[in-house]
Structure 1
Amino acid sequence: MEFSVRVPRRRLGADGPEVPLLALGSWNTWDRMEREAAAELVRLAVDGGADMFDVAHYDFGPHAENAVTDVLFGQAVRDAGLAREDYLLCGKLWLWEYPALSFAEQIKVSLGRIGTDRADTVVVGDFMERPDLRAVVADVSELVRAGRFASWGVNNWSAGDVLFARRFAAAEGLVPPSFAQLKYSLARRSVPEGAPYRRLFEDGLGLQASDVLEGGILAGRLDPQRKIGQDPGGIRDRIRAAFPQVQQVAERFGATPAQVAIAYCLTHPAVANVLVGVSRKAQLEDDLAALDLLARHGDELPEAAAGLWLDEGVVDPAASWGTDAP
């Protein structure tokens, strides 16, 4: 499989790096592939310009899974003969055991498991209890200064907490979060399209869309056999029931449901890229075709998919984790 056109790039926030519109995630992906297939997939993605990989050490809090998907990713990169400068690495820092387990120790272990000494950016993970955000910003900024990564974002924080972190960083001469990684899909729009985050996006914050396929449900795999993300608002059964509508939209544009789901998220003006889980070449090829759908019909997709917004009035746009609306 060869790609005649490289994946376009957008800037991940006003102060962030230029990234490909499509990035590959690591949760339950690399550990579902044979070694040779993983190396081939990494090589194909990089050659096609989808050269950003979101890779985490999943062994914290609710993700205490002792997973080795990050180790396998590092192995795939080496097997593919890639140099570190050939790809962008987005790491994770978890708040579940912070500050008892420092960010400095987390990044040392995480990067060591992959087999590198630096990431390009990191995402500071979500939380159930609000940490000392001043300490978070200061500790992350110190790692930027130490050269461990060049920028950072947050995962499923409330817009208010992101605003606080950005203002505190500006006041103290520290490095602010430049993007937010949020659940965003055809069905889940309340937080990324809501007014609180909209104001942040207008101020230069970037958006990275995660869970865009709802663990495969929006691609037609209605009963995933693997662990998938949280279900804010308890709407997952409604998403399954709405899949025939997704198919109808896809048929209208001569596309697949997965392509519609990915292209829709890329119509958001703040979205720099979407994260997808890919474990087969055919999936990568299908996902990349979403970029052609975006180019041809991007201006039509929001209206065509208007009836698929399922967390409207259910999820509070101002809350973290997409919690239920009051």
Structure 2
Amino acid sequence: MGDIDSMTVPRRRLGVEGPYVSALSLGSWHTYDRMDFHDAVDMVSHAVELGINLFDVAVYGIPGHKQVFTDVLFSAIVRAAGLAREEYLLSTKVWLEGYPARPLREQVERAMFRAGTEYADLAILGDIRDIRDIRDDAHGAADGAAVDLEQLAGELAELEESGLIGHWGVNNWSAQAITTIRRHAVEAGSAGPQVAQLKYSPCRRAIADGAPFAELFSAGLSMQASDVLEGGILAGKVAPTREIGRDPGGVRERIIASAPGIAAVAAELDASAAQVCVAFALSHPATASVLFGATRREQLVDNVGGLRLLDRVGASALRARLVPFFADGGVVDPSGP
């Protein structure tokens, strides 16, 4: 594939209706606010040069908690880099904490104001942590103060119709919840969710590799693999100093224990541990894009090297080498939260 620093990241279709997105996407959680501004501009510019066109930028923070301003910084970074809006796709998060008191439109409009743009190409609905937190009265789901999926689907259809969002997906939802909201979305005139953002790595595989999601993937849903390095742990930072994602199944200690083994596999393949994890995530047939964060240009370039590793080693051979590090099998319900 040529020199890593000059390769073009290929693009894959997001779902059956979504845009073509780069097979690697750049996140912003705890990134730009830890970088020198000039370095951030250089890194984002280089990402675009490498072929990355999808940037995950969101209002990170729940009301009452300390705010993070990486989305505001991103708006300044793309201006300083001289990037036109049509040169990149922007993905935002829509949080369900406080919904429907915090309407979706208000959230997206405020998020776009902070990001310095008029629309989001993709909106990702935040976690529903428990199936009891949703309501679908016509089909007998849980009672009480829960998220009404029919109402949610209707509001998303309106946002698509207005052009405020292009398409939408979900983050760490159960297969049941995705199936339900997709039905309501179609009834509301929407194409429905095009992508599920799921934790996926050599260690966290139970959900994305399980039968419930295989059925959804076969119906056209794509995956955006996230947490592929477990907050840097699988890249060798076994004691991360920044906040990292949740630990479904309580398997993080097992993941920490797996890090040296994955590093050994990487050494055998003449690659970095980060490249092995990125390549593994890319090897899933439903993966449209692998989402990762980087705070140095060198990290970005190294992760892009996962594409060349996958081509060189092959998906089957790579996955076979990583079977021993499957940490959440039999622990996490493959149907999802």
TM-score class, shorter: over 0.9
Question: What SS does structure 1 have at the residue aligned with 2:232?
Answer: helix
Task: Tell me the equivalent position of 1:19.
Answer: 21
The 5 A counterparts of 1:126-165 are 126-128=127-129, 129-130=133-134, 131-165=147-181
Question: What SS does structure 1 have at the residue aligned with 2:203?
Answer: coil
Work out whether 1:264 is the aligned partner of 2:280.
yes
Work out whether 1:84 is the aligned partner of 2:85.
yes
Task: Tell me the equivalent position of 1:255.
Answer: 271
Question: What SS does structure 1 have at the residue aligned with 2:306?
Answer: helix
| Cα pair 1:60 1:97 within 8 Å, conserved | no
CA shift, 1:305, in A, is 0.5
Question: What SS does structure 1 have at the residue aligned with 2:324?
Answer: helix
Task: Tell me the equivalent position of 1:69.
Answer: 70
Question: What SS does structure 2 have at the residue aligned with 1:150?
Answer: strand
Question: Which of the residues 283, 293, 298 maps onto 2:309?
Answer: 293
Task: Tell me the equivalent position of 2:113.
Answer: 112
CA shift, 1:176, in A, is 0.6
CA shift, 1:12, in A, is 1.3
How far apart in 2 are the matches of 1:71 and 1:251? 39
How far apart in 1 are the matches of 2:52 and 2:33? 20
The 5 A counterparts of 1:26-105 are 26-60=28-62, 64-105=65-106
| Cα pair 2:231 2:240 within 8 Å, conserved | yes
CA shift, 1:2, in A, is 8.2
Pair 2,305 (structure 1): closer, same or farther in 2 beyond 3 Å: closer
Q: How far does the alpha carbon of each residue in 1:129-159 deviate from its partner, in whole angstroms, 9 at most, with x for none?
A: 2210111111111111110121100001000
CA shift, 1:3, in A, is 3.4
Q: How far does the alpha carbon of each residue in 1:51-79 deviate from its partner, in whole angstroms, 9 at most, with x for none?
A: 21001101226x93311111011111111
Pair 167,119 (structure 1): closer, same or farther in 2 beyond 3 Å: same
| Cα pair 1:58 1:65 within 8 Å, conserved | no
Task: Tell me the equivalent position of 1:204.
Answer: 220
| Cα pair 1:195 1:317 within 8 Å, conserved | yes
- Structure 2: which amino acid aligns with 1:157? W
Work out whether 1:243 is the aligned partner of 2:259.
yes
Q: How far does the alpha carbon of each residue in 1:18-70 deviate from its partner, in whole angstroms, 9 at most, with x for none?
A: 11111000100010011111111111101111121001101226x93311111
Work out whether 1:121 is the aligned partner of 2:118.
no
Question: What SS does structure 1 have at the residue aligned with 2:12?
Answer: strand
Task: Tell me the equivalent position of 2:144.
Answer: none
How far apart in 2 are the matches of 1:92 and 1:27? 11
How far apart in 1 are the matches of 2:82 and 2:4? 18
How many corresponding residue pairs?
Answer: 319
Question: Which of the residues 157, 166, 187 maps onto 2:203?
Answer: 187
RMSD over aligned Cα atoms? 1.4
How far apart in 1 are the matches of 2:92 and 2:65? 17
Q: How far does the alpha carbon of each residue in 1:177-205 deviate from its partner, in whole angstroms, 9 at most, with x for none?
A: 11100111110000111100000000000
CA shift, 1:290, in A, is 0.7
| Cα pair 2:175 2:216 within 8 Å, conserved | yes
Question: What SS does structure 2 have at the residue aligned with 1:282?
Answer: helix
Gaps of 5+ in 2: 135-146
Give me the TM-score of the superposition, normalised by structure 1: 0.95
How far apart in 1 are the matches of 2:267 and 2:33? 33
Q: How far does the alpha carbon of each residue in 1:214-259 deviate from its partner, in whole angstroms, 9 at most, with x for none?
A: 0000101111100000001111111111112101211221110000
Give me the TM-score of the superposition, normalised by structure 2: 0.92
How far apart in 2 are the matches of 1:85 and 1:144? 18
- Structure 1: which amino acid aligns with 2:195? F
| Cα pair 1:58 1:64 within 8 Å, conserved | no
| Cα pair 1:137 1:175 within 8 Å, conserved | no
How far apart in 2 are the matches of 1:2 and 1:247? 20
How far apart in 1 are the matches of 2:4 and 2:242? 30
How far apart in 2 are the matches of 1:107 and 1:84? 17
Task: Tell me the equivalent position of 2:328.
Answer: 311
Q: How far does the alpha carbon of each residue in 1:277-302 deviate from its partner, in whole angstroms, 9 at most, with x for none?
A: 11101101100111100111133111
- Structure 1: which amino acid aligns with 2:26? L
How far apart in 2 are the matches of 1:142 and 1:54? 22
Question: What SS does structure 2 have at the residue aligned with 1:60?
Answer: coil
How far apart in 2 are the matches of 1:89 and 1:68? 16
How far apart in 2 are the matches of 1:250 and 1:159? 33
CA shift, 1:127, in A, is 2.3
Pair 106,172 (structure 1): closer, same or farther in 2 beyond 3 Å: closer
How far apart in 2 are the matches of 1:97 and 1:140? 16
Q: How far does the alpha carbon of each residue in 1:98-119 deviate from its partner, in whole angstroms, 9 at most, with x for none?
A: 1001010001110100110111
